[in-house]
Every structure is written in structure tokens, then in C-alpha cells.
Amino acid sequence: MVQKMTQTVPGPKKYPVVGTAYTIDPDKLIQSDVALAEKYGGIFLQRFPGHEPVYMISSQRIVNEICDETRFYKKIHAAIRNLRPLGGQGLFTGDTHNEEWQQAHRILMPAFSPTALKAMFESMTDIADQLKLKWSRRRPDQPVDVAEEFTRLTIDTIALTAFSYRLNSFYSETLHPFVNAMVTALVEAARLAHMPGFQKALNKSAVKNYEEAIAEMRSIAQDFIDDRRRNPLPEGEWDILDTMLNAEDPVTGEKLSDESVCNQMVTFLIAGHETTSGLLSFAVYELMRNRSVLRHAQQVVDEVLGGRPPRYDDLKDLGYIDQILRETLRIYPTAPAFGVTPYEKTRIGATDDFEGYEVNPGDTLLTLIPSLHQDPEVWQNPKRFDPERFSLENTPKIPQNSWKPFGNGERSCIGRGFALQEAQLMLTLVLQNFEMDFADPNYELDIRESLSLKPNNLMVRFTQREISKRYSAAPTAAGATTQAASTPTTEPEIAVSGSVAAGSRMQVLYGSEAGTARGFAERIATTAGRIGFETLVSPLNDAVDNLITDGPVIIVTASYEGLPPKNAKEFLDWVRSTEGTSAHEGVNYCVFGVGNSDWGPSFQRVPTQIDQGLAAGGAQRIDDAGAADVRGDFEEDFNGWMTGLWESVGEVLGVDIAVADVEQQRATVVLAEEAPEAMLAEGPRAPSAFRTAIVRSNEVMNTGGAGEIGVKRRIAFDLPEGMDYRLGDYLEVVPRNSARQVERALRLLRTAPETRVVVGGENTFLPQGFPLAVGEIFTSHLNLNAPAGSSALRTLAEHCDCPPEKAEIAALAEPDRYHDEVVAKRLTVLDVLDRYRSVSMTAVEAIPLFTELLPRQYSISSAPFENEGTAELTVSEVAGPAWSGVGEYRGAASTYLGSAEPETPVSVAVTPGPEGFRPPEDITVPMVLVGAGSGIAPLRAFLVDLERRAESRDDAARALLFFGTHGRDTDYLYADEYERLTGKGLLDVRPAFSRQPEGDVKYAQDALWRDRDEVWELITSGAKVLVCGDARTLVPGVRETLTEIIREKVGDRQEAERRLHAMETETMTFVTESFT
């Protein structure tokens, strides 16, 4: 007989008094033990003072053994036992053999049956829709703390579904008192769990906080019970609280006592939300890190739902979402441990040559679920996020007791079906309605522990996926992992002929910040789906080293002052690094660029660099690159290019493809009294993300003799409470068209301002579903100054009764005339109506021809500390003869602000400025500031900040300011402040007066060139150059001047351009902010 080996259980060394508690971070209990498991293996021993031995087990082989309920039963370990004063003998904290626990378990099991869960779906949807609506109201630049938001979701869901009680957490800045008390209790319970007795005795404040939190929670739960007895639910309605108050135990015939009901309520409110909110938070984290999984999940959701809200019967078809949740629970089991103890002395972990470890009744055998779920003996590449592990094909291959996020056996979570249904519903809504990305691209996961696990400070930016831009996936064979896109009902009809072979793929990539390029990319994917392609849509950065070669690659990207969007930067760097290689052989591609021609030389720079870089790396163009200019009719640009694109794609694939060039679907507008009932089905109105500020002061800054110089104003706002800003941020203002403009419009359209209309259709920015006064629509919603679109011109021509004028209007829409005669001259819809009086059109017919009146963004010219709660703008009123030759042009926003008297309410929002466009953190780094006119705004704020910081330092670097203005005696803005700062040795001003030039110095860039030796010295010493001004004149002028300064010093133009580019993209020592 072979003698089996014996050995002691490994683990950290035990010391007097503290035992092994020194190995545990009290704020990261589970993570500490997981780290020890990596050191000691699948089982190790902890000895905490005052507690029975705790065997930490992570080996699936041993866990499988201790899950045998004939040998082991649930052990309430220290962290849970500390919650006994809170949950009593409730389902979570009670002892399995306790009669109260057994009775409650029998009564409540039917309350979580599939039939019961189906009945709860409507209430779950109610709360999920509230969160969806809240996020849809947020601005994309307002990040979301997902753990906090999902906590509000899950606590409200369990309260409504189980107790028919609305906590309304989304309608308050602070959480319900129960939630605050619960958080305190859970944190303190975890901290006290492994403290030695003497330490607990000394930590009186923690014990006091814990006891007070428990008392408050039980008091609130009792209030729920008392209220239900006073106000029972209407006949025929049911919830879990009703079951607990009225159901009889099928074994004893008894009902639950009030104390037991209170215990269960507290249990449900804790367990019913805490772990699910963590699950959803970690799922979002992993989806953002794994963009291919995210895209596939969105395609599955789009295929199943087709743009409509999810229904209960859809859940079975959304299996991939369930797979994502199960894989999330594998890597991040939010209930991270469960304990058992043996009925009698036994051995565990035995092998053929090892007799195992002896354990005794009362010992705690604690399964470390995070470590179990990454046991390499079971899980291949365990740290990789891979939902395919839980596919229908692969799930049966997972060994028994390898995945235990809901505990074990009789004591496994009674609400697991509830939790997965709620999480599947919410994640589906998120995927259907939003794009998501890290607010901080450098975020590193920090796991917060209480009773469960959650990501700490995970801030996410959610951008709404517009329904009109979504596409539904076409049906595919079972098991397919990619769906073909098809056109949703909200897209305009497009005539398509020809199709590609089954299985043909197309990769559609975008670089976008404002959303225009992404919208174009999704429209390409929509049409591609109708042609039969399986489409892969993602940001450009996701395609680094990942371009397909078995189908077309279509790229749509914007360019911002010659720089790539954030989600395209890595791709551009990669493409440029592969020039001159064969890295892209086999890739067939086409590029479409979106930009603003006001940015001069940098217009279309990024699309061009990508186009040329791919070709230089061996890729083949499908068609010439296309371009849209947002200063013109960019929709027309895109539609024309896309029509030609499909012909070229067909040529490459040997297929005849034709896509008719169609105009964008417009809103439907009807008189209110003629509106059909369907148009009056008003849904919830999402309020604006903007809030009300009050004008504090509005001063004219021109110093006299301005003549035709535009009026410059200094406007101060009292911001609403909680609206903060930083140096370099913007204040966005929601403008209103002037009464004069609106009167002109309604006169030309022969419509009274009080006429009421109803708006319908998906593709509109106008409020829908309720009557609106025409006067208010023209005042608050329509951009009356925008050049008429070519499709709008064609519609105007259709309404023209005079054949010669009809032909003339139609001719303006032709490409050879449109830019020079419409865009360049800013010929508006109203100008056309004014010029061609034979056009007969009412406001009802004209409203769809206008674009949206968008908020205007202004750089904040004050520093946050100057007057707390106040922000200042420096505004130049835009007014003068219209370039179209029809009347006067007045900028909507500047005119609105110019007329705003003190105490006027104005809708505003703070928008973060570019991170690079801020003063150096190091006060010893000099600044070279270049601005003109109202472009001085942010630079003035930087100088105020410099003055403030220099009060406590004697080594502040002096700033050099090049400021362009008309004249010293007319609009030399903030001259008194420059004089003060100069006297303190903090500033040297080099003005340039365009109407009073000194020698060759007329503009700011001229002064920059004159003082080039000094500027070169500052640049080479690491100075930061910050420029703010007109995108058409100042910014390109400064860029060219700096290039020439560097060229003069280094002797080579190409090297000069390279150095300036490095300053702009690598060291961030040359940063521009431009406006038009």
C-alpha cells in the first residue's frame, strides 16, 4: 500500500494578537485575498484574531468538492455575520437551518418564478426608460459615473417591482435616505469584519455609524410595511411585499412575522441592487475596452429590435447580451465569495498521492470566486474578456462548479433570474441608444469593495445613437457572428439595384467628434446592408492592424484645424508609420473627408493624409476621395459622392450596383387643427441640457471713434448653482432670432406668428407631438442666416409661378453656381423669398427648408476665482450689409447677446475646452499669446490666472502677448489690465493696429515676425504658444509666420514644418483655438 503524503495548508505567517490580519487591506479585502491566492495557490489558510480558521479556496477541483451539500452547508462568514443586526434571519444573512429562514424561503421561491419575472418586466422597463431618458438629455461632454447611476437604477427597480414604491432616485441629486444608510452599513460591516476585538472597541465611531445606519434602514422598512397595511394595492394587483404579508407557508400554514418581513425587505433592497449595479458597470467597462464585442452586441440588438423598445419575448433572442453579462460575472463576480463548513470532520483536496487537508465543523471554507473564475485549469486565457465562452455551444463544456457568481445550492441567490433579466434589459437599452467611451482615455480600473465589487470613479461619455441613423441587421444563418445592415423605417427611401454575393464584407470606419462623420458612416453601412454586405462599423482607432482585405474599406473622417479626431489619432499615426512598406497590400479603400474650408490650408488635411498614407503602404483606392465642406451644402456633397462610390465598389467586385441619388427626408408640418391623432401622440419631452444664467452686466468696450468697427461687449453672467468652469472652457449660449428677422420671415410667408402647427417625422430637430406657435419656431429653432441648401432651392423653385424666376432659382442649386452664388454670398431661404416674389409659400411649407438654430460657443474670458459663480464673455457683434445684396446681415447669437439687458435670463452650458488650450501648469514656463479682436477672451483669462499665481511666487515667467486690433483709441480691449500686469513684470504687450499700422506691422502675425528672434528664443526654451482668433485669417497667418521663423533659423522649410507639427501634436507647445 502506497503511503499518501501529508502537508499543512499554506498561508501567511500568524503573529500574536493580529494573527494574519496584517495581510489584508481593510478597504480591499477580496483583492488582498486574491493576491494571496496567486502567491499560495488553490487553497491557503487565514487566521484572524477572534475567528475560526478561514480556508481560502480558489482551485476549481476543491471548490467542486466543497459544493457537495451532503458534506458541507452554508457558513455565514464574518463579513455577512456582521450584517446580522441588519438583515436578521433574512434570506441573505440567516442560518440555513433556522426556521424563520426556511419559512421565508418556501414562501418567496414562487415570487421569483419565470411567470413572476415576466410580470415584473413592465416595471423594470419603467425604471430603465427613466435612466435612458436621463442620459439622452445629457450633453456628450458631461461624463456619467456609471456605478452611481446604475445604483440608482437597481435600487429603484427593486423598490418598484417588489414593493410598488417609487424612490425616484433619478429626480434628486442625493440618494434616498435608505440607500445612504445602506452604503454606510455595508462599508462599516466590511471594515469591522476582520478587526480584532480590541480594535473594534477602539473604533467607536465606526461602530456608532454602523448601528445608526442599521436603525435607519429598519425604520424605513417598517414604514413601508405600515403604509401597505394602511393602503393595500388595488384588487388584482400584486407584488412581493403582498406575498410576504399575506402568503402562508405551505408546510406550517403560518404567515411571516413583521420582523421577518422587515428582514426580507432589507435583504431584497441590499442584495437586489448592490450586485446588479456592479455587474452593469463592469459590463460597460469591458465593452469600452473590447470594441469588437461592443459592435457585435449593437448589431445583435439592432437585428432583434429594429429600433423599437425591447419586449419580454425579445430576451430569448438577445442571448449574446446574456453571454456578455455572464462573462462579466466570470471576471468580476460582484458577490465575490461564499462560505461553507463541513457537517463533520473531513478532508478536502485529496489526490492519488495526497490524503488532503483536514477540516472541522465550524471552520470557514471560503470560495474566492474571482480566483475560481480564473483558474487556468478550467479557463483558457482567463484574463481575456470573451463572451463566446457562454455560447449555446460552449456552455455545456464548462466543468461543474466552475462558474459560481450566485453562490451554491440551496443558498444560491434566489433573485438570480431577476438580476439577469434586469441587467439584460438595461444593457440592451444602452447598446441600442448610446455609443460609449471612457471620459478619461487613461483610466485604470480601481475596484471599490463594500459587500460587493464595483469599479471606482468609472466616468463614461455616452453619445446618443440617433434612431434615424441606426440600421437593423438583416437575418443571417444561425451561429453567424456578423449581421448585414438594412435600412430602418426611419431612413429615407433609397432606390438600390444590384447585390453582392452572400457573405461579402465591408468595413466602415469613422473619425468623428461632433458626430457628422459618424452619421455619414452609419448611412453608408445602412445602404451597404441593403446591397447585401455584412458591415463592420467602428472608430478608426479600432482598425489599427485590423483592416480587412476580403472586402471594401470605407473611411469617413473629420479634420479639426488639421488635427485628427481623438478616435482617429492612433490610426493616423499607424498609417503614417507604414508609408513606404507593403503593410496594406490587399486593402481596397476609399476616403471621405468632412471639414470646414474656413481653416484654409488645414482643410481636409487628415483625410488626405490617410488617403495618401494607405496608398503609400500598398493599398488600392476604390475611388477618388470625397470631401464635404460644412460651410456649404455638405449633405449634397455626401449624397453625390456616395452615389459614385457604389458604382466604383461594383466595378471592383464585378457587380452592377446602382444607388439613386435621393434627397434627405424632411419633417412633416401641418396646421394644428388639421393634425391627425397619430401626430399628437406626445411622448416625454426631454428638457434641454442647458440651464438658465442671468445677465449681471453688459458693457460696450469700444473706446470711441469706432466708425464701422463692430461693437465689442463685455458680458457677465451669474451662473446657475453647480455650473463650474476651468480656464480655457467655453460658454455655449442658446440664441434667439431677433424680432426684426422673425417679422421679415413671417411677412414673406404671409403667416401670423400665433398660427399653431404640429411637427412629425423622425428626421427633425423640432419638438414633436404638440402644437407650436409659428412665431416661436422661427424665433427659437430655425437658423434664418444659413445659406439655403440646394434641395431647399429646388423646393422653392417648385413653388415659383413665374417660369423665368423658377428656372433662375433652380439654376442656383446646380453645382457650378451653388458655392459661388449661394454659399459664398450667404444667400438664405428668406433672401430667395425676398428676391423672387413669385414664390408662393406659407410658413407650414417653408419650415422644413431651414436648418437648426444651434447654440453658439464663446471662449470664457474670466478666471473662475475672479467672481465666484460668474462667467464673462468678450463678444463682437456681427452686423453689416448682407453679402447676398439683400438687406443687412446680423449674427443671431451676437445680436441676441448685445440686446440682453441686466437681469435677462439666458440658456447656457459650460463646455470643456481642449486640454492643450490651457496655461502651463509650471508658472516658470513662459507663454507666447497671440490673439485678435474678441479672440483675446481666453488669453485675458490666462493672464488673470498668471497674476493670481504670481502673488505667491517670485519666479513667474513673463508672458509675451501679440494682440491685433483696429486702433489704440478704438478697441484696444483690456488695455488697463495690460498696463497693470506690465508694471508687475508679468507681461510684455506687442500690439498691432490694422488701421493705425506702425511700419510693416498691421496684424498680430506681422508683430510676431518683427520680433522673431525673441519668439525663436522662447520657443527653443520650451515656451507654450497659445493662439486664438479667426480661422480664415489669424490662425493660418500665425501658423505660416511661425513656420517661416523656424525655417529662417534651421534653413529648411520641410524641417520647419516637421518641428511645428511636433509642437502641435507631441509636446502640445503650439495650440490654436479658432472661430468663424
**Which residues are known to be catalytic?**
275, 406, 413
Long-range contacts of residues 669-674, Cβ cutoff 8 Å, at least 24 apart: 669/757, 669/758, 669/759, 669/760, 669/844, 669/845, 669/847, 669/848, 670/757, 670/758, 670/760, 670/844, 671/755, 671/756, 671/757, 671/758, 671/844, 672/756, 672/757, 672/758, 672/771, 673/756
Rounded CA-CA distance 298/306 in Å is 11
Rounded CA-CA distance 119/316 in Å is 16
C-alpha distances in Å from residue 178, one per residue of 265, 266, 769 = 12, 9, 38
Rounded CA-CA distance 762/365 in Å is 58
Q: How many CB atoms lie within 10 A of CB 948?
A: 12
Query: Please, how many CA atoms are within 13 Å of residue 883, restricted to the half-sphere of its CB?
Result: 14
Ligand-binding site membership of 67 (annotated): no
CA-wise closest residue to 480 among 503, 509, 507: 503
Rounded CA-CA distance 694/691 in Å is 10
Rounded CA-CA distance 485/296 in Å is 12
Helices (H), 12-113: 29-40, 60-66, 78-81, 84-87, 99-108
Rounded CA-CA distance 64/60 in Å is 6
Three-state SS at 684: coil
248-260 burial, b at 16+ Cβ within 10 Å, e below that, comes to ebeeeeebbeeeb
Radius of gyration (Cα) for the chain, nearest Å?
34
Element (H, E) at 762: none
683: exposed, middle or buried (Cβ count in 10 Å: 0-12, 13-18, 19+): exposed
Contacts (Cβ under 8 Å, ≥6 apart) of 359: 55, 341, 342, 345, 346, 347, 348, 365
Rounded CA-CA distance 961/977 in Å is 12
DSSP percent split of the chain into helix, strand, coil, nearest 5: 45, 20, 40
Read off the C-alpha cell for 151.
445604483
Long-range contacts of residues 615-618, Cβ cutoff 8 Å, at least 24 apart: 616/578, 616/579, 616/580, 617/575, 617/578, 617/579, 617/580, 617/581, 617/582, 617/583, 617/584, 617/585, 618/581, 618/582, 618/583, 618/584, 618/585, 618/586, 618/587
Three-state SS at 258: helix
The gap between the terminal CA atoms of the chain, to the nearest Å, is: 91
CA-wise closest residue to 695 among 547, 835, 873, 853: 873
The DSSP secondary-structure symbol of 249 reads: -
Task: Confirm if 876 and 710 have CB atoms less than 8 A apart.
Answer: yes
Q: In the chain, what's the furthest Cα-to-Cα distance? A: 113
Task: Confirm if 358 and 349 have CB atoms less than 8 A apart.
Answer: no
Task: Confirm if 209 and 472 have CB atoms less than 8 A apart.
Answer: no
706-735 burial, b at 16+ Cβ within 10 Å, e below that, comes to beebbbbbbbbbbbeeebebebbbbbbbbb
Contacts (Cβ under 8 Å, ≥6 apart) of 808: 836
Q: How many residues does the chain have?
A: 1076
Rounded CA-CA distance 997/978 in Å is 20
Query: Please, how many CA atoms are within 13 Å of residue 705, restricted to the half-sphere of its CB?
Result: 7
Report the binding-site residues for heme.
413
